[in-house]
Structures are given as C-alpha cells and as structure tokens.
Structure 1
Amino acid sequence: MFFKNIAEDLDAMMARDPAARSRLMVALTYPCFHAVQLHRLARPIYLAGFPTLARMISQFSRFITGIEIHPGAQIGKRLFIDHGMGVVIGETAVIGDDVTLYHDVTLGGIAPAINSAQQVNVKRHPTLEDGVIIGAGAQVLGDITVGKGARVGGNAVVIKSVPENSVAVGVPARIVMPKECGSEFAAYGIPTQDLPDPVARAIEGLLEQMTRMQGRITALESELDGFAAGTAGKAAEGNGHEQPGAEARRFGRN
C-alpha cells in the first residue's frame, strides 16, 4: 500500500504538471511530493498520541519544502500542491482524493483565539471534497465544505460552502458558474472559457432599469405636456366667451 500510494502520487503530479518529465524528477525535486510523504509519516505518530514528535516532523517538512501541513489534517490520495511555497493546511482540515492546491493557499480556521482549550478536537478548518482545485493565494476559511469538483479562483476568500461543480471567485468569493465547470482539470481553478462577472452583470441590470425608467419618464412628460396644453386651450376658450358678457354688464351699468 505504501509503495502504491507513492506511485499514485508521482503519476498524479506528472499528469497535472507538464513540466514534470519523469517520476525521478518529481521524487527528487518536487516539494509537494516530499511534504505529502512526510505528512504520511507524521500523521500516524500524531494519532498515536505523540503530537510533539509529529509536529517536529511537520516543521522539518515546512523548513525544507515551504509547505505547512498540520499532522492532524486528513489528506486523501493523489494530492498535488503545485509550486507549494506558502501553503498552510490546518489541523482539522479534510482533503479528499485528487485535490489540487497552488502556492500560497490557506486552509485555515477563523475561530476566536480565546478559550483555545475548548476548541481542541473541534472542526475549525475546511473540507475539500474529491477533485477540488484551489487557485494560488486563495484562502478557504472556517468549517465549510468545497463540494466535489468545485474550483476556487486565485486570491479568492471563501467563507461559505461552495456547491459541487461550481466556480467561486472574488473577495468574498461568489459563485459565478454553478453546475457548469465540468470534470476537466482547470489550472489555477479557472476554466478556459470566459467567466461571467457578477458585478458587471449587476451594473448592466441597473443600466437596463435606468433606461426603462427614462423611457417611462419621457412618456409621462409627453402626456403631461399634452394635458397642460389641453387645459390651457380650454381656459383660453373660456376666457374668450366670458369677455363679451363682462363688457355688456359694464355698459349696462353705464
């Protein structure tokens, strides 16, 4: 099983990185490979009740790879951390199979830094289901779930769960392509097709409403102008009929 997992890791990294030329290159030079193998060593030690030793291994891994994986984190098969530097995976994070992370990704907790003793063994970090891709610099925070096959764009800040097969971008992250991104691998979590901009769509909607309102205002102004003209005409006609009578009354007095 151990060697099978290693072979799967090597093949997965080669499949997702065109720069990988051979298994030997990946095994010797890819920090992701080293970090994952050291985590597989540290985690059973952590679960066996030796957290200090496990943390020493994870800190050594961080020192040589730039990738910080807490030994308490649960990691599935074929995890690929491209470039790797700056990645942080928290203690209660759960990562499924075939997940891809890029550099500077944080899977963090946002629980208050008070009453730390009460937060032991409490789920504080996110869950990434199978096939998730997290773009560079993204922060996925809190006990939330990024659904199977979902993508998170670079530098996004995700504080709410992301549905399966969706694309989330922005700060805070918004769903821009629900149920459409499919199963194809998307580098940095961004599909190759154009992404709809929710802000631009909102502005376009406002402009359309303003155009419709302007048309209605113009129509109302035309109706009011016609009404005013008709009223003025009737008033003028009324004044024309009353004037002779008024003159007759004046002559009668004289």
Structure 2
Amino acid sequence: MWRFLVLLREDLDAARRRDPAARTTSEVALAYPGVHAIWSYRVFHRMWRVPALRLLARLRSQATRAATGIEIHPGAQLGRRLFMDHGMGIVIGETAVVGDDVVLFHGATLGGTSMTHGKRHPTLGDGVLVGAGAKILGPVWIGDGAQIGANAVVVKDVPARTVAVGVPAVVRQRPQTAAPEDLFADPAIYI
C-alpha cells in the first residue's frame, strides 16, 4: 500500500513540476483530468492482472474515459511520473509500454495498426515528449529522450534523443548544443 501511495504522490509532483499553470498540489489533485486518469489506470491495471477481473477493469476504465476524455487500456504498461498536459483525447492502447518521466500532450495517440493478437502498440522510452495531436502507430520503439512534434504521424522507430516531425514523421538530429538533460524543450527549436 505504501508503494502505491508513493506512486500517487509522484504523479502529483510530476504535474506540479511540468505545468507552469499548476498553483497548488490540491488544485492538481482535484482539477487535473490527466492525474485522475493515471490514478484510475493504476487501480484498473492491478485488476487487469487478475483474469477474473478483466471485464470489470475494462468497464471501469471506460467510465474513467467518459469522465476525463482520456482512454488508457488497463493492459497498457505505464511508467512513473507520466504527465498528460490537458489530456483530452489521449488514447493509449492495450500493448503500449510507456517509460518513466514521459509527457503526452492532448490528442496524442499510442495506437495500433493491426488487428492481430500480440504486440501492436508503441513502446516509449524514458523522458519522451509527445506533442499535441501526434499519432504513434504500431509496435514501434521511441528511444529515450526523443521528442515527437505536434501532429506528427510516427510509423517507424525513432532513435534516442532525436526529434520526429511531419506526416509521415521524419527523424531529425538535435543540434550538438542541446543539453542532454533538456528532455522537455520545445521541439520546434530543433527544426
């Protein structure tokens, strides 16, 4: 139980740190749908791991979707300190894997391109930033610290610490002057 409470606190702290509009922890806890969706997911994911509770987990996740506008399949694997800015329209599919310290902006989709069983959604490394409206489709891999530009459509792997922009997305190298620890900079400055 203690570990679960630590995760909930980390979710609050991640939102406070990454959103300059966040004034208080209470405001984040009460008024941020991204935080509510993550908290619900954490409960439903535990239920999903028990085969007899899978239907209930799916039904409850759909109720959270109706309340927050964010759809997270309970079978997805989300890392720690995920922040969903604004949140509305975010979709995370069943076999998606999301690393630690990831930022997803509104309208981002981690979706599939196949109707077959097995791995069909993306894997995001640690420190990935996904811009508003971006679509990452299929079992692609997004490397640590990569940035996906707004409205990009990614259907191929993206190496670590690069920027992917466009439809279909094209990978661009960051300039050498970019600091490695600057994982959340505006992708537009690298284009």
Instruction: With the length of structure 1 as denominator, give the TM-score of the two structures.
Output: 0.70
Runs of at least 5 residues in structure 2 that lack an aligned partner in the other structure? none
Q: Residue 31 of structure 2 aligns with which residue? A: 29
Is contact 2:65-2:71 (8 Å) kept?
A: yes
Shift of 1:2: 1.4
The two structures, once aligned, show a CA RMSD in angstroms of 1.4
Instruction: Please state whether the residue corresponding to 1:71 is helix, strand or coil.
Output: coil
Is contact 1:104-1:138 (8 Å) kept?
A: yes
Is contact 1:126-1:140 (8 Å) kept?
A: yes
Q: 1:62 aligns with which of 39, 43, 65?
A: 65
- The answer as to 2:140 corresponding to 1:144 is yes
Q: 1:184 aligns with which of 171, 182, 185?
A: 182
Instruction: With the length of structure 2 as denominator, give the TM-score of the two structures.
Output: 0.93
Q: Residue 156 of structure 2 aligns with which residue? A: 160
Is contact 1:165-1:179 (8 Å) kept?
A: no
**Counterparts in 2 of 1:47 and 1:194: CA distance versus 1, 3 Å:** closer
Map 1:108-119; keep pairs closer than 5 Å.
Answer: 108-111=111-114, 113=115, 119=116
Shift of 1:185: 4.0
Is contact 2:175-2:190 (8 Å) kept?
A: no
Shift of 1:186: 3.0
* Amino acid of the structure 2 residue aligned with 1:70: H
Bigger relative contact order, structure 1 or 2, given CA contacts below 8 A and separation 6+? 2
Instruction: Please state whether the residue corresponding to 1:98 is helix, strand or coil.
Output: coil
Shift of 1:7: 1.2
* Amino acid of the structure 2 residue aligned with 1:4: V
Query: Which is richer in strand?
Result: 2
Q: Residue 103 of structure 1 aligns with which residue? A: 106
Shift of 1:85: 0.4
Runs of at least 5 residues in structure 1 that lack an aligned partner in the other structure? 114-118, 196-254
**Percent pairwise identity:** 52
Rg: which structure is higher? Answer: 1
